[in-house]
């Protein structure tokens, strides 16, 4: 079977470098292109040098040229960049893995529209372990739907620009759906001052930003006399990168469609 040719957006960033390393370690993958913004000081450098393994692929800013030699683009950038990638991938009929978070409703609608023309895996967290936690939360929430207050606590590095994280929000969505609630109607994203007694139906979110925390997430079910906590902690970004490559393999041979990691892992 031919190797999948990957283009990586934001290749000089923390996640981009991890993706380069993951592609180089994957026998089914090849790095076809590495992209950065036009003003990046890394333009022209060998992408592999960023992870100590030169590969002959130069970092560039020409999106169309990169996609012309690629089967799949992996995008862990920002929503405004993803919109440009959506348009370009449709022009070149290139599959797209989106790990970017912080999209507006309009941004999500654009992704759904693009999926009618190309295959897209769009997930707030690509790590296999996190997606196992999503399934565990569904089961736990159904069992603990009465008599337990639910809180989602997440922590990330100081450079993360959106809050709560996409993973935390997805955890909230999974729990809310399992117990028959709409997250938009019961979520609270901050508490300060005299808040009054906690409503029983509320799902609370707490956000921590600091240092180099890769990503910690906990869903707390607090009942009378007991607490149940389901936690996932990331020690590195490699699980996200490996999950993204798994998503790329999942789309091999597909012409269109919108998928998430639950599809990729066969959990639906």
CATH for 29: 3.40.50.720
Put the strands of the sheet holding 187-188 in their side by side order: 187-188, 203-209, 149-156, 215-223, 226-234
Task: Determine the angle formed by the axes of helices 128-143 and 166-178, rounding to 10 degrees.
Answer: 30
| Containing structural domain, residue 158 | 128-234
By annotation, the residues acting in catalysis are 156, 160
Q: Among 33, 8, 74, 23, which residue's Cα sits nearest to residue 53?
A: 23
Examine the domain organization and report whether 115 and 12 are in the same domain: yes
Residue entry with tokens 């993360």: 160
- H or E stretch at 259: strand 257-259
Q: How many helices and strands, by DSSP H and E, does the chain display?
A: 9, 12
Residue of 104, 99, 101, 105 lying closest to 121 (CA atoms): 99
Residues 9, 116 within the same domain: yes
Nearest alpha carbon to residue 111 among 103, 32, 57: 103
| pTM of the complete model | 0.85
* Residues 94, 17 share a domain: yes
Answer yes or no: do 47 and 156 share one domain. no
Q: What is the pLDDT of residue 268?
A: 77
- Give tens-digit pLDDT for 66-99: 999 999 999 999 999 999 999 999 999 999 999 9
pLDDT of residue 101: 87
Strands 149-156 and 203-209: parallel
Residue 177: in which H helix or E strand, if any? helix 166-178
Same domain, 153 and 165: yes
pLDDT over 90 for what percent of the chain?
A: 97
Both 29 and 87 in one domain: the answer is yes
Task: Grade residue 258 by pLDDT with cuts at 50, 70 and 90.
Answer: very high
Confirm if 10 and 34 have CB atoms less than 8 A apart: no
3-state SS assignment for residue 161: coil
pLDDT of residue 106: 96
Same domain, 190 and 244: no
Question: What's the distance, CA 112 to chain centroid?
Answer: 16
How many structural domains are present in the chain? 2
pLDDT, mean of residues 212-220: 97
Question: Do 243 and 193 belong to one domain?
Answer: no
Cα(165)–Cα(162) distance, integer angstroms: 6
Rounded-to-5 percentages of helix, strand, coil across the chain:
35, 25, 40
Q: Are residues 15 and 143 in the same domain?
A: no
Which pLDDT value is given to residue 18?
A: 97
230 and 136 co-located in one domain: yes
**In a shared domain, residues 105 and 200:** no
Give 102's pLDDT tier (boundaries 50, 70, 90): confident
Torsion angle in degrees (nearest 10) through CA of 64, 68, 71, 76: -20
Within this chain, do residues 9 and 118 fall inside the same structural domain, yes or no? yes
Give the per-residue pLDDT at 267: 85
CATH code where residue 178 lies: 3.30.360.10
123 neighbors 96 (Cβ within 8 angstroms): no
User: Tens digits of per-residue pLDDT, 116-174?
Assistant: 999 999 998 999 999 999 999 999 999 999 999 999 999 999 999 999 999 999 999 99
- Average per-residue pLDDT in the chain? 96
């Amino acid at each position: 079977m031919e190797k999948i040719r990957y283009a990586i957006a934001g290749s000089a960033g923390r996640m981009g470098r991890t993706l380069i390393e993951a592609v180089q370690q994957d026998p089914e993958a090849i790095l076809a292109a590495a992209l950065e913004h036009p003003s990046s000081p890394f333009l022209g450098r060998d992408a592999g040098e960023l992870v100590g393994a030169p590969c002959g692929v130069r970092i560039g800013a020409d999106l169309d040229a990169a996609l012309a030699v690629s089967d799949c683009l992996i995008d862990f950038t920002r929503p405004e960049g993803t919109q440009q990638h959506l348009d370009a991938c449709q022009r070149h009929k290139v599959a797209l893995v989106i790990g970017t978070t912080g999209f507006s409703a309009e941004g999500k609608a654009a992704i759904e529209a693009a999926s009618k023309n190309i295959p897209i895996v769009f997930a707030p967290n690509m790590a296999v372990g996190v997606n196992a936690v999503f399934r565990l939360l569904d089961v736990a929430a159904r069992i603990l739907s009465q008599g337990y207050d639910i809180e989602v606590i997440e922590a990330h590095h100081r450079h993360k620009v959106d809050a709560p994280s996409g993973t935390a929000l997805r955890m909230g969505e999974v729990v809310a759906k399992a117990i028959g609630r709409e997250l938009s109607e019961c979520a609270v994203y901050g508490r300060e001052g005299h808040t009054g007694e906690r409503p029983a139906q509320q799902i609370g979110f707490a956000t921590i930003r600091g240092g180099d925390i890769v990503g910690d997430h906990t869903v707390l079910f607090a009942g009378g006399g007991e607490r149940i906590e389901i936690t996932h902690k990331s020690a590195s970004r490699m699980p996200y990168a490996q999950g993204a490559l798994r998503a790329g393999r999942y789309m091999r041979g597909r012409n269109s469609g919108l998928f998430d990691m639950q599809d990729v892992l066969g959990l639906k």
